[in-house]
Structure 1
Amino acid sequence: MENLEKARKFIQELESNRVKLKRSYGVGIYLFNLLKQHLESTYLNLLKEFDKLPIEKRIGILKVIKGRLSQPAYKKAVDFSHVEKKPIEKFFLPIEKVSILDQKEKKLLKALGINDLYSALWYLPVRYEDRRLNNSIKTTKPGQKVALKLRVLETGYDPSEKYPAYVKCEDGTGILYLRFRYKDQKPLYAFKKGSYIVAYGRLKEFKGEKYMVHPEVSFQEEEFGKILPFYYIRSKGEIKAISSKTRHRKIRQAIGKLLEYVKYMPEYLPEELLQKYQFPNIAESLYMAHSPQDGDEDALNSRATPFQRRLIYEELFLFQLLLQIRKRQISNLEAVKLSHPEKHTEELISTLPFKLTEAQRRVLEEIAKDLKTGKPMNRLLQGDVGSGKTVVAMAVSYAFAREGYQCAIMAPTEILAQQHYENFKRFLEPLGVKVGLLTSSVKGSARNSVYRHISAGNISVLIGTHALLQDRLEFENLAFVVIDEQHRFGVMQRREMLSKGKNLFPHCLVMSATPIPRTLALSLYGDLDISIIDQMPEGRKPVITKLIFESQMEKCISFIRSELEKGGKVYVVYPLIEGSEKVELKSATESYMLWKSLFPDRKVLLMHGRLKDQEKEAVMREFKESADILVSTTVIEVGVDVPSATVMVIESAHMFGLSQIHQLRGRVGRSERQGYCFLVVPDSLKNTDAEAIKRLRVLVQTSDGFKIAEEDLKMRGPGELLGASQSGYFGFTVASLARAEDRYLLELAKEDAKAMIEKLNHMENLKKVLAYRYKDSIDMSYIA
């Protein structure tokens, strides 16, 4: 126990003194030696790598280990080992047939997308709040989130204050003020002098006065005295009419009832893995995730507890098993075998008004080899913004069309699909290849015409959005599928598109302009071969990027005027569509009028994600043809091509990830003209967030997307690299690749899956869970 206490004190000291952490060497090994008898191998392996990691990641690991040390008894909080287990398939029971729930609860779960008992038990909390009443005003440190039972002393209202409404309270150990930004006094009437309330929030202190800003207040104690889970709840349909507080209470009640079943769930992970990582079993893990009996709020919210680590590992392990099965599945399928892919791609290349780079030619050679094997190509093409991935896809599509086969190109947005259509049509139709377009905007007789010509084989290359997935769309001989911006589509959508091949399995090329470091890509796209275009087209100049503060905007405005005079066009990007009381950031709609007043003689347009696809397309067309300035949100991030655009202004740049900014600045400098990108940040950032400034300077120093991706990975994790929807895309509900420890678990899971795939046929429960989780994505008959 002496080593444990030493480790706790040392971690606390390092957390409060970053300078010491930066200058200390051997911290990881020192902590490893202190804790090797007390921590699971997952955490010990993190400590082995500790001293090689960036400062932010080291701080994150210290926080995780601190949380783990504060809860040594998590695994023993519940014990279901004595309970007789039921067959795993009993847990795939549809929600409608779960007798313990009433009709309203079933309806609520269905509205949340929960269709069976297993899904409900895996509908895990996104955060926790420690509502236990074991603190006092006197003992709570400023900055700490706590629940306090308080007696109301008085209320007051001062309209001149930032938070005009206040409630003065005490608990016998001190005085605490609850402060609110109410517009009038009416909400204060609920606070009766002398009555008792429970307040939950972050305690703050200023000039000796302790206070909470907008705490959650309850006039009963029904949901206090325990750690409370909170779930992600989509606000739509009938749920939208229910208040947020009521939603959370109802979902807690429904899932709380279902926890009665969890103790009967049999274990399905191999015993050797549970032993290897000292993981608790599935029943205990799920129960504790929904109903933690004890613990530290920070440890729970950073997913540092053993039961959460087990659930995270399980998701990653099953995902890696899926990739192993997919690889086997594809190796057993047959695809079209092209006779002369190189000859036909050269035919197209010879007609282009520009030269291909060596990198593009290398990738075409790799693809040509795949197309001559008779086995389905399953390849990821990574390339920086503007590196020429689309030309590669076009050349390969031409090769298929010349040998009599059809191709489908799926893009994530109508704007990008329209752009691809125009480019493919321009270069392929003069060579006799018919190109078609299918998006949600193509309606009525035009849509029916596309369906008819595709099924008859008259259209060789069909470009579209999700509309390509419709059941009515039948290809005559689909042999090649291109999925652009891979991370924008789900795994199931890729499979659905590939299922449209009739007799043979289509070759598949998935493209991404979001550079992902190769090590991470190999783990996330383990079923794909990877090609990289690491060279920019000749004559393309790197975009000059400058970091400026808001006080320097006058110079930026002057520069924009001079670029507009030269015939350039300007993008101005904001993080928000509209302003928010909670976040003090500029927004696109509010700033649109400002840009119009700054440039009254110029045409200024506004675009954001709430516009319909047809409206977005019309705005982009107008910008390309006759407008000068486009004020927008990140809706222009992917694939938009306006060659005359030369300036990109990104407001509140510190709110974006490096890779996202790199994508945005790829919208300018798409011709022989020089492109410029201005990263605008508040002056206050100089004193409050030096790390953000340092992060943005990476973009000033390099235009190499892969270097930027590596920096993003070091500083923020891959959440930004993979897009906001990355968790949904990979099917993860609790794992997050933004956490260094989860990425480490991903690597372990990958190696374990390779070792376990041969034994899978002897693990019936694991096979059933895998088949259930990925029922639309794998054929279990391909398991050896």
Structure 2
Amino acid sequence: MTKVEKAKKLLQELTDKNFLLLKRSKNVGIYLFSLLKDILPQDYLELLKGFDGYSLEKKKALLMTIRSFIEAADFSPRTFSFEHEKKLPLEKFFKKVEDLKVLDQKEKKVLLAFGIQDMQSALWYVPVRYEDRRLNTSIGTAIVGQKVALKVRVVDKGYQQDEKYPAFVKVADSTGVLYLRYKYKNPRFLARFVVGKEMIVYGKLLEYKGEKYMVHPEVLSQEEAGLILPFYYIRTKSGLKLPAKQKHKKLRAIMEKLVEYVKHMPEYMPQEWLKSNNYPSIAECLYFVHKPSHELYPLLTIEDLNAFLTPYQRRLSHEELLLYQLALRLRRLEAVSHNAVKPSEDFLKHIENFKKSLPFKLTQAQERVIEEIVKDILSGKPMQRLLQGDVGSGKTVVSMAIAYAFAMEGYQSAIMVPTEILARQHFENFQKLLAPLGVNVALLTSSVKGAERQSVYKHTKEGNIHVLVGTHALLEEDVEFKKLAFVVIDEQHRFGVLQRKLLLEKGKGYYPHSLVMSATPIPRTLALSLYGDLDISVIDQMPEGRKPIITMLFFESQFDRVVEKVRQEVQKGHKVYVVYPVIEESEKLQLKALMTEHEKWKKLFPDKEVHILHGKMKEEDKRKVMEAFKERGHILLSTTVIEVGIDVPDATVMVIESAHRFGLSQLHQLRGRVGRSHLQSYCYLVVPDEVKQDEDAINRLKVMVRTNDGFKIAEEDLKLRGPGDLLGAAQSGYFGFWVANLTRLDDLILLEKAKKEAEEILSKDPKLESYPDLKKVLLYRYGDRMDLSHIA
């Protein structure tokens, strides 16, 4: 419900014939002022400020007048009159930053430092938040807890040495008194506040024991006040050695210049799509997000702007999601147009022989998934399937069964994983189960060098290697397969669509079947939309004999209990992980902290081997640490580098420090490093004592304590924090959205809608020939990332 709708409802209730509710209600004027401050004329707002002091008759009259005004007003978005502007060819808006004559060299350098390469990506570099610096409230009517701009007069000032905020300035307006509080130790800065002087202050309004105050507010110039100020995403590694405030200022100045050209941008989305969704034109939308204005959109509120709920922002999000769905669907249509290897009727027998060779029985879920995969493969069309399964559910064994069957048919398989540690682990697992059956397995990573590397190239090309496991090294030109039929990509979100394609192109004349695997459980409805180019299989059952991991939450003050539990497990000969978060603001600082913790744990366990692992180490050093930990180590201190693919069966304890800094899905991934055998395992979540006050953080962590089911955790994560956290930073970035944000529920709904719209558009026009400009935008956004050259 919008603020106007809330106000309408309240006015109807208050102006009911008997006016009983109006007689009993308090603070009506302040509440209505907060709802309607952006909409009502100034004289009405002034009357609302003193509302509670009026007689009943005057209150009735004012409310009836306001009600009549609102019911008669037109709050629909105003037109920008851009339709009369001369439209330029769409290509003009794809110009490289270096070619933009409107910008000087310094401004071009700023855009390039932010990774903005052309005019289109500059215009779509929309603000991530806004601050309302309009003078549309007063001390008496402003809502406590919100940031506001207030025009005030200095009444008094002073310095109290022993206070938390020793310097204060007392200011007032016609509706009340406000204190500006500062932590500065030197009182000289108070000289700028002259008693009787009028000024504009901006900050968060707070209240304590009836006294309203702001801490370190900004003092605004006349030009700064009266604006809705956009704030852009400031990359910490942009290369610009400027304070964040200056970076924002420079970006605003650049966008002011560029946005003037937007009025000449032609519309490229289908007219029926714009009409059915009641969306403004692309020119209006891009203009508005950089220069939001109440005059252009009467219902504008800072809350709606920051929640991306205005029709201008919604159109941009919706458009992005539709383009993504179109790209996915076009990608799938192109893939299934190829022929793939169709194995012989003995393929199923090979699968059965592999299952008989296993020292354990597959779960029903694994059996079902193998059936789904085999059915695809026997169709003769390229299989494109996403295999989702919880940590430790047995996805790798499924891929092994298919790789073995293809090897028996004389074909090769490639297994691509994101890290060297995971590649070595997969290689060892494949080797252990497949080598005794006559399958040649090889490893290719950056640390495989010299004669060994040349040997891998040679035997892969000749077809002597049946299964090649590796990292990005598999994508090199020197890697040639004789008969590649099956490709497995593990932790698929770490690879781009184009990287996947490079590997698939090594099939020589036919399209390999591909299985992409993910241990991040994603609710099926969301997965279907995000991975629309893939069919989905789910392993929703754990192998027999695995005991649920016991998870407990501890505060720092209880750390001795954690140490004691670790001691008990180490004495049994079991191994322990201790994980620390990587703090983005200062990775160097974090590494230093990790070293300090290393010393602490060595003192706690002087007779045990305590190892350390982090992402800044060379691959060879990481491998040596992991081997030492597996063979003789007791405790491994690490950053999240161990999140994926580490398999040490006798590791039974996972301690996660500052657990509140992690998303639920990441905590679940980390917990999955233990509990990989019949041994009882434990996960201890450790947080600072002050986190007790953070109800949201505690509720999230309690989800981990309650359940080991990754899909239940994913559902909870979706409810509590949205899919951005669920997917993790790597996966969120993987989709390449500029405005759409899957942490917003509204955008999730739009994603589902966009999927249906893409299907409808392509069912009528598979190559978008009726929409030449839409095709240009689609190729600009996804042409390279998803290889849409077949529609160019």
Q: TM-score range by the shorter chain?
A: 0.7 to 0.9
Alignment of 1:29-40 (within 5 A): none
User: 8 Å contact 2:126–2:739 — kept in the other structure?
Assistant: yes
User: 8 Å contact 1:571–1:629 — kept in the other structure?
Assistant: yes
Equivalent residue number for residue 745 of structure 1: 750
**Deviation of 1:526 (Å):** 1.4
Measured in 1, the distance between the counterparts of 2:92 and 2:141 equals: 48
Q: Does 1:775 align with 2:783?
A: yes
Letter of the 1:762 counterpart? S
Report the CA distance shift for 1:10/1:484 in structure 2 as closer, same or farther (over 3 A): farther
Measured in 2, the distance between the counterparts of 1:634 and 1:74 equals: 49
Equivalent residue number for residue 110 of structure 1: 112
User: 8 Å contact 1:313–1:749 — kept in the other structure?
Assistant: yes
- Equivalent position to 1:501, from 500, 507, 522: 507
Match of 1:761, SS state, is coil
Q: Deviations over 1:474-509 (max 9, x none)?
A: 444433221111223333332333233332222110
Q: Deviations over 1:410-431 (max 9, x none)?
A: 2122221221122223333344
Equivalent residue number for residue 704 of structure 2: 699
Match of 1:242, SS state, is coil
Letter of the 1:233 counterpart? I
Once the two structures are overlaid, the 10-residue window that deviates more, 142-151 or 751-760, is 142-151
Equivalent residue number for residue 267 of structure 2: 267
Equivalent residue number for residue 249 of structure 1: 249
Measured in 2, the distance between the counterparts of 1:74 and 1:606 equals: 61
Measured in 2, the distance between the counterparts of 1:524 and 1:489 equals: 15
Match of 2:321, SS state, is helix
Alignment of 1:472-511 (within 5 A): 472-511=478-517
Aligned length, in residue pairs: 718
Measured in 2, the distance between the counterparts of 1:623 and 1:157 equals: 58
Measured in 2, the distance between the counterparts of 1:365 and 1:426 equals: 24
User: 8 Å contact 1:577–1:587 — kept in the other structure?
Assistant: no
Measured in 2, the distance between the counterparts of 1:502 and 1:107 equals: 44
Report the CA distance shift for 1:313/1:9 in structure 2 as closer, same or farther (over 3 A): farther
Equivalent residue number for residue 65 of structure 2: none
Measured in 2, the distance between the counterparts of 1:10 and 1:389 equals: 60
Q: Does 1:228 align with 2:222?
A: no
Letter of the 1:658 counterpart? L
**Deviation of 1:599 (Å):** 2.6
**Deviation of 1:323 (Å):** 2.0
Match of 1:85, SS state, is coil
Match of 2:510, SS state, is coil
Report the CA distance shift for 1:198/1:178 in structure 2 as closer, same or farther (over 3 A): farther
Measured in 1, the distance between the counterparts of 2:789 and 2:729 equals: 34
Equivalent residue number for residue 628 of structure 1: 634
Once the two structures are overlaid, the 10-residue window that deviates more, 550-559 or 90-99, is 550-559
**Deviation of 1:406 (Å):** 3.0
User: 8 Å contact 1:572–1:632 — kept in the other structure?
Assistant: yes
Equivalent residue number for residue 40 of structure 2: none
Match of 1:317, SS state, is helix
Equivalent residue number for residue 93 of structure 1: 95
Report the CA distance shift for 1:691/1:577 in structure 2 as closer, same or farther (over 3 A): closer
Equivalent residue number for residue 551 of structure 2: 545
Letter of the 2:117 counterpart? N
Measured in 2, the distance between the counterparts of 1:405 and 1:98 equals: 53
Match of 1:75, SS state, is coil
Report the CA distance shift for 1:311/1:577 in structure 2 as closer, same or farther (over 3 A): closer
Equivalent residue number for residue 27 of structure 2: none
Equivalent residue number for residue 285 of structure 1: 285
Measured in 2, the distance between the counterparts of 1:232 and 1:590 equals: 33
Q: Does 1:662 align with 2:668?
A: yes
- Unmatched 5+ residue regions in structure 1? 14-68
User: 8 Å contact 1:577–1:589 — kept in the other structure?
Assistant: no
Report the CA distance shift for 1:606/1:741 in structure 2 as closer, same or farther (over 3 A): same
Alignment of 1:77-156 (within 5 A): 78-137=80-139, 139-148=141-150
Letter of the 1:535 counterpart? Q
**Deviation of 1:309 (Å):** 0.7
Match of 2:570, SS state, is helix
Letter of the 1:603 counterpart? E
Equivalent residue number for residue 58 of structure 2: none
Q: Calculate percent identity across the aligned residue pairs.
A: 58
- Equivalent position to 1:404, from 406, 410, 425: 410
- Equivalent position to 1:535, from 525, 533, 541: 541
Equivalent residue number for residue 557 of structure 1: 563
Q: Deviations over 1:353-387 (max 9, x none)?
A: 32222221221222122222221110000111101
Alignment of 1:292-307 (within 5 A): 292-294=292-294, 295-307=300-312
- Unmatched 5+ residue regions in structure 2? 15-70, 295-299
Equivalent residue number for residue 176 of structure 1: 179
User: 8 Å contact 2:165–2:181 — kept in the other structure?
Assistant: no
User: 8 Å contact 1:227–1:293 — kept in the other structure?
Assistant: yes
- Equivalent position to 2:773, from 745, 765, 780: 765
Equivalent residue number for residue 63 of structure 2: none
**Deviation of 1:78 (Å):** 2.9
Equivalent residue number for residue 324 of structure 1: 329
Equivalent residue number for residue 429 of structure 1: 435
Equivalent residue number for residue 59 of structure 2: none
- Equivalent position to 1:205, from 207, 210, 223: 207
- Equivalent position to 1:642, from 645, 648, 662: 648
Alignment of 1:378-417 (within 5 A): 378-417=384-423
Report the CA distance shift for 1:329/1:595 in structure 2 as closer, same or farther (over 3 A): same
User: 8 Å contact 1:75–1:307 — kept in the other structure?
Assistant: no
With the length of structure 1 as denominator, give the TM-score of the two structures: 0.83
Measured in 2, the distance between the counterparts of 1:572 and 1:253 equals: 47
Letter of the 1:675 counterpart? S
User: 8 Å contact 1:592–1:606 — kept in the other structure?
Assistant: yes
Equivalent residue number for residue 362 of structure 1: 368
Once the two structures are overlaid, the 10-residue window that deviates more, 613-622 or 708-717, is 613-622
User: 8 Å contact 1:578–1:588 — kept in the other structure?
Assistant: no
Measured in 1, the distance between the counterparts of 2:724 and 2:213 equals: 35
Match of 2:341, SS state, is coil
Letter of the 1:122 counterpart? W
Report the CA distance shift for 1:692/1:782 in structure 2 as closer, same or farther (over 3 A): same
User: 8 Å contact 2:496–2:785 — kept in the other structure?
Assistant: no
Q: Deviations over 1:22-58 (max 9, x none)?
A: xxxxxxxxxxxxxxxxxxxxxxxxxxxxxxxxxxxxx
Equivalent residue number for residue 528 of structure 2: 522
Letter of the 2:275 counterpart? Q
User: 8 Å contact 1:136–1:171 — kept in the other structure?
Assistant: no
Equivalent residue number for residue 17 of structure 2: none
Measured in 2, the distance between the counterparts of 1:112 and 1:637 equals: 29
Once the two structures are overlaid, the 10-residue window that deviates more, 753-762 or 454-463, is 454-463
Q: Deviations over 1:113-167 (max 9, x none)?
A: 2222211111122222223344555543331112456788768695x76567x46
**Deviation of 1:217 (Å):** 5.9
Q: Does 1:597 align with 2:598?
A: no
Measured in 1, the distance between the counterparts of 2:715 and 2:74 equals: 35
Larger radius of gyration: 2
Letter of the 1:283 counterpart? A
Equivalent residue number for residue 735 of structure 2: 730
Measured in 2, the distance between the counterparts of 1:135 and 1:464 equals: 62
With the length of structure 2 as denominator, give the TM-score of the two structures: 0.82
Measured in 2, the distance between the counterparts of 1:450 and 1:255 equals: 52
Q: Deviations over 1:182-241 (max 9, x none)?
A: 7x759x7597454987654323233455444455566x55544322222223233632x2
Q: Does 1:342 align with 2:348?
A: yes
RMSD of aligned Cα (Å): 3.5
Letter of the 1:768 counterpart? K
Once the two structures are overlaid, the 10-residue window that deviates more, 659-668 or 396-405, is 396-405
Q: Does 1:372 align with 2:378?
A: yes
Once the two structures are overlaid, the 10-residue window that deviates more, 542-551 or 761-770, is 542-551
Match of 2:82, SS state, is coil
Equivalent residue number for residue 258 of structure 2: 258
Match of 1:368, SS state, is helix
